[in-house]
C-alpha cells in the first residue's frame, strides 16, 4: 500500500510540475487569485528560482517597503514579520527567508480594498535576510532586513 502511494505521488509530481509551469506562465496578474498552489516556487532551492516561478525576476529596491521583525529571533520556529508596502496599487506581497531550504515562505495576493499590509509568523533555519517582494502596477519591488536566529526553526 505504502509502495503504491509513493509510486503514484512520483508520477503525479512529474506531470503536475509541467502543468503548473505552463499555468504560471500563462496566468495574468488578475487571475492569480484562483491559481493552484505554486509547487515549483515553494520547492525552489534558491531565491532566484523562486522569484522566477512567481514571475518576479529582477525586482527593484524600494524604500517604501517596511519590514518589522525582531533584529534577533531567539527561536527560529516563530519569527514575527510585519510588512507594510506604501507603494500605491500593491497587489502581491511575498516573504522570503534567504537561507531556508525552500526560501519562498508565503505569497499574498491582495484585492478589493486589502491594503499593502501583511502580518504573519514564519520559520527561519538560520540567521539570514528576510526579503519581501512586492508587486504593484505590473512592477516588482523588494526590500530586505537581516534577522539573527539563535535556534533554527527548520530541521532537527
Partner 1 sequence: MAEPMKIRAQMQGDTADIKVLMNHIMETGLRKDAKTGQMIPAHFIQQVNVTVGGKTVLDAQWGYAVAKNPFLGFKVKGAKAGEKIVVNWVDNKGDKRTDEATIA
Does residue 99 bind partner 1 (CB under 8 A)?
no
Q: From the list 55, 62, 120, 127, which residue makes contact with partner 1 (rule: CB under 8 A)?
A: 120
Q: From the list 24, 47, 67, 105, which residue makes contact with partner 1 (rule: CB under 8 A)?
A: 105
Of 10-18, 59-67, 121-129, 131-139, which part binds partner 1 (CB under 8 A)? 121-129
**Residue recorded with cell 510588512:** 83
Output the 3-class SS for 29-64: HHHHHHCCCCHHHHHCCCHHHHHHHCCCCCCEECCC
Does residue 117 bind partner 1 (CB under 8 A)?
yes
Give how far the C-alpha of residue 127 lies from the chain's centroid of Cα atoms, to the nearest Å.
17
Does residue 97 bind partner 1 (CB under 8 A)?
yes
Q: Name residues contacting partner 1, limited to 29-58 (CB under 8 A).
A: 32-35, 37-38, 41-42
The gap between the terminal CA atoms of the chain, to the nearest Å, is 28
Amino acid at each position: 500500500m505504502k509502495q503504491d502511494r509513493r509510486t503514484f505521488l512520483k508520477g503525479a509530481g512529474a506531470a503536475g510540475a509541467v502543468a503548473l509551469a505552463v499555468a504560471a506562465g500563462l496566468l495574468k496578474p488578475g487571475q492569480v487569485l484562483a491559481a493552484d498552489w505554486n509547487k515549483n516556487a515553494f520547492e525552489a532551492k534558491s531565491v532566484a528560482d523562486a522569484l522566477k516561478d512567481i514571475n518576479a525576476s529582477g525586482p527593484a529596491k524600494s524604500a517604501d517597503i517596511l519590514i518589522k521583525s525582531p533584529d534577533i529571533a531567539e527561536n527560529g520556529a516563530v519569527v514575527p514579520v510585519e510588512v507594510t508596502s506604501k507603494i500605491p496599487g500593491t497587489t502581491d506581497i511575498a516573504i522570503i527567508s534567504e537561507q531556508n531550504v525552500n526560501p519562498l515562505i508565503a505569497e499574498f495576493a491582495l484585492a478589493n480594498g486589502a491594503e499593502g499590509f501583511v502580518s504573519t509568523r514564519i520559520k527561519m533555519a538560520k540567521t539570514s535576510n528576510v526579503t519581501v517582494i512586492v508587486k504593484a502596477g505590473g512592477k516588482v519591488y523588494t526590500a530586505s532586513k537581516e534577522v539573527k536566529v539563535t535556534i533554527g526553526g527548520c530541521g532537527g
